[in-house]
Copies of this chain bind each other. A is one copy, B any other.
Amino acid sequence: MIKQLPDLADGQVTVAGWVETIRDQKKVQFVILRDESGSVQLVRPRPEGDDEISSTISELTLGSFVRVSGELKHDERVKLGGIEVKIETFEVVGKALPENPIAEDSSIDKRLDWRFLDLRRPELNLVFRVQTTFEHALRTWWVEHDFVEIHTPKLMASPSESRAELFQVPYFETTAYLAQSPQHFKQMAQASGFGKIFEIGPAFRADPSFTARHATEFTSVDAEISWVDSHEDVMRMHEELLVAGFTAVKEKHGDEIKALFDIDIEVPSTPFPRIPLAEAKQIVADRGYVVPRADDDMDPEGERQISAYVKETYGSDFVFLTDYATSIRPFYHRRHDDDAGLTNSYDLIYNGTEISTGAQREHRVEVLEAQARDKGLDTEELATYLDFFRYGVPSHGGFGMGLGRVLMLMLHLPSIRETTYLFRGPNRLLP
């Protein structure tokens, strides 16, 4: 890989990548070659009357993939890393069409049309290397803490969350639904005695909205643990996990993130501030913003406001908003023992945007059934789910977190369209 070249002694090397720049001069030809790790200058004195290699370079198109062998030379005068490779063999492996359909200033929609070319940009390549490191740190933390990895099915016989925003799939003689979350099956693992489980996988929402935070398919980071006393146990796991993720990203990519995004990755301190939602709304109101909602929920501007307050007051990029009203939470959230109007739940806000919802679950089946009826749900349709609770189940809780949102907020990008490998929205199924 190109990033390893500066550490090699002068001598014979082979490099491979795509052509980023060509300077085809009379006396000398230069090619800047890039791979996933960096870029390097290739050079060749032009022979009188040209030869095969010099003609190949003259006819080269930007973006073509080439494999080159030659002599590595350290030379302080070369701006690009103080090295260059003197071309000896030059093979065009994959020739590019001459015209790049996107430019630096193309719209996000145009860039998404040509996502495979857009992803060649070093910043976007870095996004996915950061994703790799972040996820691996999360999984390593889970594995070290005896969690079991599960792969829940995405094809279900009944909706996992609600009848809204649901994709239906004709399935042999019947109809299946695409999982909106792994909720049911994460909880099933608790009844199965798995103890602590995690999953990183796709979730699907037939969501017709076009915001920077929503997609019809997204990567959901999920965990669920047995024997919680309240949502506090879930939040503690959640924040420790994020510390592990941010520590790994800072260590492995901190310098590069600084260079390409001008961002200093900070490992968050724990415990993250915890603020009951009602109190958060009061704080926001005291700052002069009244959340314009009829229900008890926050809105995106309210989340930005409370985030700003927490940053100013506690220096934290993260805040848990806790104890959401029963009216705005799903039936399976456990309610306060002393106030049925509040739930043992939280949202995690990061840099002004919600990235996660967590809760203690209601595991007492008769209470769970009553709460489902209370929300107007059809308990017949929930029969399989409710069965999970009839044969013994421990108290438990967990969270789901949007991976694309975490990356978007970590790298100060404007939309999850930038941090999703291939974005899916109401009018986007391509490429």
Tell which of A50-58, A81-89, A192-200, A306-314 binds the partner: A192-200
With CB as the reference atom, state the residue of chain B lying closest to A364.
B94
Q: How far is the CB of A431 from chain B (nearest CB, A)?
A: 5
- The verdict on A90 contacting chain B, using a C-beta distance below 8 Å, is no
Alpha-carbon distance between A5 and B148 when the two chains are bound, in angstroms: 20
Number of residues in A with C-beta < 8 Å to the partner? 97
Contact with B along A182-195 (1 / 0, CB 8 A): 00010011011111
- Interface pair A219/B136, CB less than 8 Å apart: no
Name the CB-closest residue of B to A215.
B153
A149 touches B135 (CB 8 A): yes
Binds B, one of A113-121, A315-323, A340-348: A113-121
Asked if A16 is at the interface (CB within 8 A of a chain B CB), the reply is yes
Instruction: Please report which residues of chain A, range 378-405, place their CB below 8 angstroms from some CB of chain B when the two chains form the complex.
Output: 384, 387-395, 403
- A420 CA / B120 CA spacing, docked (Å): 37
Q: Cβ of A152: which chain B residues have Cβ within 8 Å of it?
A: 421-422
CA separation between A194 and B34, bound complex, in Å? 11
Closest chain B residue to A185 by CB distance?
B422
Tell yes or no: A213 within 8 A of B by CB: no
Q: Give CA–CA (A219, B227) in the complex, Å.
A: 29
Contact with B along A21-34 (1 / 0, CB 8 A): 00000000000001
What's the Cα separation between A143 and B191 when bound, in Å? 33
Q: Please, how many angstroms separate the alpha-carbon atoms of A422 and B384 in the complex? A: 13
User: With A153-B422, A155-B424, A193-B119 as given contacts, are A391 and B63 in contact (CB-CB < 8 Å)?
Assistant: yes
In the complex, the answer to whether A384 meets B431 with C-beta atoms within 8 Å is yes
Alpha-carbon separation in the docked complex, A421 to B154 (Å) = 12
Q: Is the CB of A193 within 8 A of B17?
A: yes
A151 beta carbon closer than 8 Å to chain B: yes
Contacts of A154 in B (CB 8 A): 154, 202, 204, 217
CB of B16 within 8 A of CB of A227, answer yes
Q: Which of A70-89 contact B (CB under 8 A)?
A: none
A172 touches B140 (CB 8 A): no
State whether the Cβ of A168 lies closer than 8 Å to any Cβ in chain B: yes
* Closest CB in chain B relative to A362 CB, distance in Å: 11
A140 touches B136 (CB 8 A): yes
Question: Is A170 interfacial (CB 8 A cutoff)?
Answer: yes
Q: Would you call A172 and B128 a contact (CB within 8 A)?
A: no
Q: Is A430 an interface residue (CB 8 A)?
A: yes
Question: A194 to nearest B CB, angstroms?
Answer: 6
Q: Are B202 and A391 in contact, with the CB atoms below 8 A?
A: no
A16 to B133, CA, bound (A): 34
Of the candidates B95, B128, B391, B395, which one forms a contact with A117 in the assembled complex, judged by CB atoms under 8 Å apart?
B391
A290 in the interface, Cβ–Cβ < 8 Å?
A: no
A202 touches B422 (CB 8 A): no
A120 near B422 with CB under 8 A, answer: no
Contacts of A178 in B (CB 8 A): 169
A131 is an interface residue with CB less than 8 A from chain B:
yes
Q: Is the CB of B168 within 8 A of A148?
A: no
Given the known A-B contacts A171-B429, A422-B185, are A193 and B35 also in contact in the complex, defined by CB atoms under 8 Å? Answer: yes
Is there contact, CB below 8 Å, between B176 and A429? yes
- Tell me, rounded to whole Å, the shortest Cβ–Cβ distance linking A124 to chain B: 8
- Inter-chain CA distance A430–B143, complex, in Å, is 28
Contact B36–A195 (Cβ < 8 Å): yes
* CB <8 Å contact, B394 and A65: yes
Query: A11: CB under 8 A from chain B?
Result: no
Interface contact B116-A128, CB-CB below 8 Å: no
Q: Which of A153-187 contact B (CB under 8 A)?
A: 153-157, 167-172, 174, 176, 178, 185
Q: How far is B188's CA from A202's CA once the two chains are assembled, in angstroms? A: 19
- Write 11 A-B pairs (CB below 8 A) sorted by A numbering: A18-B193, A63-B392, A65-B392, A94-B363, A94-B364, A115-B188, A125-B192, A153-B424, A155-B204, A155-B216, A384-B431
**6 A-B pairs with the lowest CB-CB distances in the bound complex, closest first:** A96-B392, A119-B192, A157-B429, A36-B195, A94-B393, A132-B149
